[in-house]
Amino acid sequence: MPRTSPAHRTGPEVAPAGADNTHLTGEVDLAIRVMIALALGLILGAEREFRGHPAGLRTIALISAGSCMFTGLGLIPQFGAPVDPTRIAAQIVTGVGFLGAGSILRQGEEVKGLTTAASIWVAASIGMAVGFAYYGVAIFTTLVVVIVLVALKPMEDRVFPLRRNRRRDDPKADRPAE
């Protein structure tokens, strides 16, 4: 059997049980989902904006809304041939990975932007959850992520005050590299 056998491919007809609540009833339903995703993205983006990070309020909100929009468009059966929404979800993950990678910068010994990249990635997943009509999971994830971003930063600073040089072989800032 060839590796690309259609028997192993997924499609809307082999959706798992319970996934039938994801269908859209029309454009208004999609618009409501996008607005919910936008609101949840605004909550995440507000934390990033408050701390002065480059991907802030607008960026995170747009990523969440855009992910929801792409996910929702994959659920609309009016495009003729049925579309596998998991393929669209996979492309969202790939595209958002590029956005996140662009937010990571190395400045000397320090790498900055990892938390911003992770926030971009989570915002896309929240938008996809709303697009698939998993509102409870999306709201719960938003709250957990905001708590992690807000509450863990002071604890991280207190418990790991010298975290800039995590590896033993990193040169120390106060002495030149050997």
| Residue 149 domain-assigned (yes or no) | yes
- Kindly state whether residue 168 falls inside one of the protein's structural domains: no
In a domain, 85, yes or no: yes
- For residue 105, being part of any structural domain is answered with yes
Inside any domain, residue 5: no
Number of domains in the chain: 1
The domain of 117 spans 24-159
User: Mind listing the pLDDT tens digit of every residue in the chain (178 residues)?
Assistant: 455 555 555 555 555 555 555 677 788 999 999 999 999 999 999 988 888 887 888 999 999 999 999 998 888 766 566 677 788 888 888 888 888 777 777 777 777 778 888 899 999 999 999 999 999 999 999 999 999 998 888 888 788 776 655 555 555 555 444 4
- pTM of structure: 0.75
3-state secondary structure the chain: CCCCCHHHCCCHHHCCCCHHHHCCCCHHHHHHHHHHHHHHHHHHHHHHHHCCCCCCHHHHHHHHHHHHHHHHHHHCHHHCCCCCHHHHHHHHHHHHHHHHHHCCEEECCEEECHHHHHHHHHHHHHHHHHHCCCHHHHHHHHHHHHHHHHHHHHHHHHHCCCCCCCCCCCCCCCCCCC
Question: Is position 165 within any domain?
Answer: no
